[in-house]
């Protein structure tokens, strides 16, 4: 092969090469680690894509930051609503602020004006259930009321119907924010999984690369590699 023809071929191969940056001796192309980027993105969404040189990682990373910011905000609003409801109940239903109350107790506060035995009270309803279940058996009725009624230490009495409804609204807000926190948590998990899957797809997709090489006699050649 004449030298001028070799030079012409060298120029043509250089122009036609898609990824050639320098002339290097022929070598076996290195196979990428397809799992490492996916693992990175599973830990921090977008990390794997960015480490693979793909700008789509910024989307997953930005979404992760927005989601965590939303989660912190919703958790704060949940805490505020819960505290508002509790303080309001202490002030307007006379519950003891030193005691611990569960969600079931708060549900009763939303439904009943008081915990007593007068009509509209929770214990009154329990007494009616006891009478219906054990007619004429005062002992069994008392046992039923003792097992299912409200202990005097946990008694309450709302000052007005409007006060009870306001409390119920604050508890509803708290539960709404709690559900939203859970939903955002699920989206955060999905963002991690989708980013990992995207990184795996990028790493395993068909990749063509061309490389300009010279042999020991300075004959030019085009090395095309294909990896998954």
Token pair belonging to 224: 């095309």
- Residue 41 in any domain: the answer is yes
* Residue-number span of the structural domain to which 203 is assigned: 32-115+150-218
Token pair belonging to 194: 């989708």
What is the pLDDT averaged over residues 67-86?
Answer: 96
pTM of the model: 0.68
Token pair belonging to 102: 């569960």
45 or 33, which is more confident: 45
Q: Who contacts 60 (Cβ-Cβ below 8 Å, separation ≥6)? A: 41, 45, 46, 49, 191, 194, 195, 198
What are the start-end ranges of the H helices in 149-160?
none
Q: Give the pLDDT of residue 171.
A: 96
- Residue 53 in any domain: the answer is yes
- Residue 121 in any domain: the answer is no
Contact of 204 with 228, CB cutoff 8 Å? yes
Each residue's pLDDT tens digit, 186-217 = 999 999 999 999 998 888 763 444 454 555 56
199 or 23, which is more confident: 199
- Residue 203 in any domain: the answer is yes
Q: Domain count of the chain?
A: 1
Each residue's pLDDT tens digit, 141-168 = 999 999 999 999 999 999 999 999 999 9
Cross-strand bridge partners of residue 227: 207
Rounded CA separation 199/21 (Å): 25
- Residue 49 in any domain: the answer is yes
């Amino acid at each position: 092969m004449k030298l001028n023809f070799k030079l012409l071929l060298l120029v043509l191969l250089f122009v036609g090469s898609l990824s050639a940056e320098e002339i290097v001796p022929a070598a076996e192309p290195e196979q990428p680690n397809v799992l490492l980027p996916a693992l990175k993105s599973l830990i921090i969404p977008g990390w794997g894509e960015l480490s693979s040189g793909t700008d789509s990682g910024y989307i997953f990373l930005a979404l992760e930051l927005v989601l965590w910011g939303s989660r912190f905000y919703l958790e704060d609003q949940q805490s505020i609503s819960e505290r508002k409801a509790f303080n309001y109940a202490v002030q307007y239903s006379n519950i003891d602020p030193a005691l611990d109350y569960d969600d079931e107790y708060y549900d009763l506060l939303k439904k009943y004006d008081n915990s007593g035995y007068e009509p509209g009270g929770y214990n009154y309803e329990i007494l009616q259930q006891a009478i219906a279940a054990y007619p004429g058996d005062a002992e069994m009725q008392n046992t039923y009321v003792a097992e299912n009624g409200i202990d005097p230490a946990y008694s309450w009495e709302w000052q007005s119907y409007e006060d009870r409804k306001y409390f119920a609204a604050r508890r509803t807000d708290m539960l709404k924010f709690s559900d939203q926190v859970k939903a955002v948590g699920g989206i955060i998990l999905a963002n991690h999984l989708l980013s990992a899957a995207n990184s795996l797809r990028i790493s395993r997709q068909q990749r063509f690369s061309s490389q300009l090489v010279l042999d020991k006699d300075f004959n030019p050649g085009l090395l095309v590699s294909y990896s998954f």
